Structure 1
Amino acid sequence: MTLFKSASLISVLTLASRITGLLRELLMASTFGASALTDAFNVAFRIPNFFRRLFAEGAFSQAFVPVLAAAREKDGEASTKELVDQIATVLAWVLTFTCILGVAGAPVLVWAMASGLKQSPEGFETAVFLTRWMFPYIAFMSFVALAAGILNTWKRFAVPAATPVLLNVALIAAAGWGAPWFGSMGIEPIYAMAAGVLLGGALQLSVQIPALRRIGMLPHVGLRWSSLRTAWRHPGTRRITTLMLPALLGVSVAQISLLINTQIASHLTVGSVSWLTYADRLMEFPTAMLGVALGVVLLPQLAAARAADDADRYSGLLDWGLRLVVLLAVPSAVALLTFARPLVAVLYHYGAFTAADVQQTSLALMGYGAGLIGLIAIKVLAPGFYARQDIRTPVKIAIVVLVLTQCMNLLLVPFLAHAGLALAIGIGAMVNALWLLLGLINRGAYKPSPGWGRFGLQVVAASALLAVFLMAMTTQVNWLAFEGRALGRVGLLTLCILGAVLVYFVTLLLSGLNLRQFVRK
């Protein structure tokens, strides 16, 4: 499978994951709205996700995959299988103790994540209960990360990329069928979502097993204490542990920011955590589709250019990626800033999700939209450093930006509440991207190609017309007045989006921009 086909496959499956994720949020918004109980679920769900992103998919994956790939290249299949067995054994024992501690310490974890839930005793107790039930999800996902590292090393990309869809399907089933059934049994309906999370974790792990068995890499876990001692002494285990420490610092920055923002949001108006969650789900579409695709395609190409000492090709790849960011992220940001209310209304304004919830979620979405260009540009610029084997610089920048973001929270949150949190993240992303860009330019690694001035004016002109069109559609239509006519509202939104695409790209073509230059690369 070629690099382009692999990237295309990952992008398509990422899109499927985002669509099912959006459907899950729509159903949750319609079923539960934004309340103390939904805040409790979102906080409880973020706790295992926090540890998953920090360790399993973060530091562990970054350390495990290089060691695994080196073992396969140098030592052969048999030694690689032994390494997988030893790592799986250590992981199983560590996760067992972690889950025991997590379940026992759920009240402390909830307080550390969102002490503001104490304002609603029901919300805090519900969050503790849900955390205890959902914490084992981290065990499922840690082994999913282990399996994904193995399968990706063997160039089996489809299964790891598709598995997030299964979690979304499980949560859709939990909200659509589980919640009403729980309610009919006299059980709080939100508890069905915890069952959906565990089911989703089990499904994601189960589909990895046949794929691992086909390549002969299904791990054997040692259940005896002596097996753990042997696994811990294995050189590969020690190497991965050593590599995890610096990787953990880099991964932890984003998670610490999420932790702090959730803590602040929990002290604001009830529903704030949920409003930010719903807005973030919409933000994941452009950031995942464009950012993930560019990250997958560019990093190996940049590394190859760097290894070949081909500075022109290296700079040209960065230039191509950045122009794609400007071409697609600028109109996306304009859309989020001018068309947020219709987007949120059409997607979320059903059932328990009120007009007030639409307004508050729209404000959060606009805050995120202000930094969309930076959020996506980082996916191009950071690989520029990684390809040069410079991980420290992006980490240092991220740490400084984290401090800056929290300082902005002090200024913005008192005036803008939860929307201030989103805006601070957006501004921080812009600062991060600009800093990375200047760093690459100052090192002489990136030299902007000629024509940026004309290209920028073309994009700005097309985006200005796009903004006028979208603002007209926002003000001329009462997007909240479609009671009982959901299909009509969806159809009108579709026409508006198609019209926006035509306005933007026709304007670019009339201005003389050659779009084929982006496809040829």
Structure 2
Amino acid sequence: MSGHHPLRSVLKVGSNTMVSRLLGFARDVILARLFGAGEMADAFFVAFRVPNLFRRLFGEGAFSQSFIPVLGEYRATRPASEVRAFVADVAGWLALALAIVTIVGMLGASAVVYAIAPGFADNPDKFHLTVELLRITFPYLFFISLVALAGGVLNTYGHFTVPAFTPVFLNLSIIAAAVFWAPHLQQPAIAVAWGVLIGGVAQLLFQLPALRRVGHLHWPRLRRRDPGVRQLLRLMGPAAFGASVAQINLFLNTILASLVGANVVSYLYYSDRLVEFPLGVFGVALGTVVLPLLSRQAAERSPRFPQTLDWALRLTWLIGLPATVGLLILAQPLLISLFRYGAYTAEDARQSALSLTGYGLGILPIIAARVLAPAFYAHQNTRTPVRFAMISVAVNMGISLILAWPLQQLGLALATSTAALVNALMLWRRLRHDGIFQAQPGWRVFLLKTGGLALLMGIVLLYLRGTRPSGCRCHSGNGCYGCSAW
């Protein structure tokens, strides 16, 4: 196939996401300097994680996976007036559901914190701070899920730049709150929590002009007879169930992190931020472009569907393999270089490097799943990926319970990566079995070339990591990166 058009789209999404991720790194450096890996950091990260977990259900999770294929079908087969009516109806019902969940979440913040981080209850100050922060951040769910709706519309119409650039406003808002407001408060985390909420509002406002340009800036409405809404709900049923199972797994990891040791929540957060760089820049870019492209090809019954999937898998390997090698070898140096300021200590970096190593092993399968699952969604099959997600979540839960106490953050990260591998392998086997994925010629040579280059890259990085700067007298065995005085 000619991969020029989708590749340009991937590069466009990736470049804009890169800007957001770089600002995200700046944000996390500032938060590490402000909070370190202590009680305030744990409280904020849990309060920030909760609306993000729900966002994966109402935003880019079950909703987007079901909405984009239906919208693509409507656009290909229905008049523009019916497409506009469908989008308005979906916006109305989604906004109503989000409003209810947000209100319930704010009122029940104490119960939510106790459920997701029961270990915090042993420290009343930490527990109450987390509850207060969660009441501020929970409305972020409302705005960011509507952002996902707008982004789905824009991506379906081939407009990738605005949705990819939108997260920049969240990072700018958090940075501004941390730098200019937080130093003046007794609890700096409160200012950062408000920065999260303001960032959610800013992201939604930024997308409105783009929606107007594609003709889909509508007042939400609650019409119950739209067949597209019924079709969307039918697809969302299994997808929402699967996403809920996945969220249960994430809740379990947070629960275990709050129980197995001090500051484990923070160690996992900082390492996750580095893993999210290749996942966010490349994995999300691929998934963002591939889903509407495959949905259109499926609706048109195009013979190029298997070729598009093969191209996306090759790009996954080409990007994911060196990213994995780099993170595994440079885990601790990267953490020290990025976060070793202010309250974030050398020991924090060493502990975070353990979980970064575990998470790094999951880069390839996670990106692969984000390419393989859209092949099912494009055919409006949400049941199969959900079934596989449930199996992988069970694997994650089992391994987490076994490894959490002896290995703490490393065990939890390894469980996540192992479950991702199981999920990707099941998706790949089923697509081959159903004849949806057909490997194109040249895979063997491609794997040999990329594998050899990755090996060479790893050898060079190992050599450079062991090189000590001039005048270094450190004898830690890990170069100057292992020095507590770094």
TM-score normalized with structure 1 length: 0.81
- How big is the shift at 1:128? 0.4
Gaps of 5+ in 2: 474-479, 482-486
The question of 1:18 aligning with 2:36 is answered no
Mapped contact 2:66–2:380 kept (Cα < 8 A):
no
Match of 2:280 in 1: 288
Q: Is the 8 A contact 2:89 2:226 kept in 1?
A: yes
Match of 1:381? 372
Summarize the alignment of residues 9-408 of structure 1 with structure 2, pairs less than 5 Å apart. Answer: 9-71=12-74, 76-182=79-185, 187-221=186-220, 231-232=223-224, 235-299=227-291, 314-408=305-399
Is the CA contact 1:90–1:232 (under 8 Å) kept in the aligned structure 2?
no
Mark the CA change 1:19 to 1:93 in structure 2 (over 3 Å): closer, same or farther. same
Distance 1:271 1:478 in 2: 31
Unpaired stretches in structure 1, ≥5 consecutive residues: 223-227, 483-488, 491-521
Distance 1:318 1:439 in 2: 14
Q: Quote the offset at 1:248 in angstroms.
A: 0.7
Between 109-118 and 205-214, the greater mean CA deviation after superposition: 205-214
In structure 2, how many angstroms separate the alpha carbons of the residues matched to 1:443 and 1:215?
36
8 Å Cα contact 1:17/1:165 also seen in 2: yes
Task: Output one character per residue of 1:136-182: Cα deviation in whole Å (capped at 9) or x when no partner.
Answer: 11121232233223333444333222211100110111112221122
The amino acid of 1:265's aligned partner reads A
SS in 1 for 2:167: helix
Deviation at 1:261, TM superposition (A): 0.8
* Residue pairs, 1:423-442, within 5 angstroms: 423-442=414-433
| TM superposition shift of 1:458 | 3.9
CA distance in structure 2 between the partners assigned to 1:3 and 1:401 by the alignment: 30
Deviation at 1:121, TM superposition (A): 1.5
The one-letter amino acid of 2:344's match is F
Question: Offset of 1:211 from its aligned partner?
Answer: 2.8
| Aligned counterparts of 2:231 and 2:307: Cα–Cα separation in 1 | 36
Relative to structure 1, the CA distance from residue 389 to residue 260 in structure 2 (aligned partners, 3 Å threshold; closer, same or farther) is same
Q: 1:285 corresponds to which letter in structure 2? A: F
Q: Which amino acid aligns with 1:175?
A: A
Conserved in 1, the CA contact under 8 Å of 2:260 and 2:405? no
Kept in 2: contact 1:341–1:474 (CA 8 A): no
Flag the structure with larger Rg.
1
Measure, in 2, the Cα distance between the counterparts of 1:79 and 1:452: 43
Q: CA deviation at 1:383?
A: 3.4
Query: Do the aligned partners of residues 451 and 408 (structure 1) sit closer, same or farther apart at CA in structure 2, a change above 3 Å counting?
Result: same
Q: Is the 8 A contact 2:362 2:421 kept in 1?
A: yes
CA contact (8 A) 1:65 1:150 kept: yes
Query: C-alpha separation between the residues in 1 aligned to 2:299 and 2:98?
Result: 38
Structure-1 residue corresponding to 2:476: none
Is contact 2:23-2:171 (8 Å) kept?
yes
Deviations 1:392-418 (A, max 9, x none): 322212211111111111222222111
Matched, 1:412 2:403: yes
Structure 1: how far apart are the matches of 2:89 and 2:302? Answer: 40
C-alpha contact (below 8 Å) 2:249/2:393 kept by paired residues: yes
Counterpart-to-counterpart distance in 2, 1:310 and 1:70:
13
Task: Give the letter aligned to residue 144 of structure 1.
Answer: V
Contact 1:36 1:120 in 2 (8 A): no
**SS, match of residue 218 in structure 1:** coil
9-18 or 59-68, larger mean C-alpha shift: 59-68
| 1:372 alignment partner AA | I
Pairwise CA distance, 1:25: 0.9
> Structure 1: how far apart are the matches of 2:467 and 2:192?
38
3-state SS, counterpart of residue 207 of structure 1: helix
In structure 2, what is the Cα distance between the partners aligned to 1:350 and 1:88? 43
CA–CA distance in structure 1, aligned partners of residues 227 and 299 of structure 2: 28
Answer whether contact 2:65 2:374 (CA < 8 A) is retained.
no
Q: Is the 8 A contact 1:39 1:270 kept in 2?
A: no
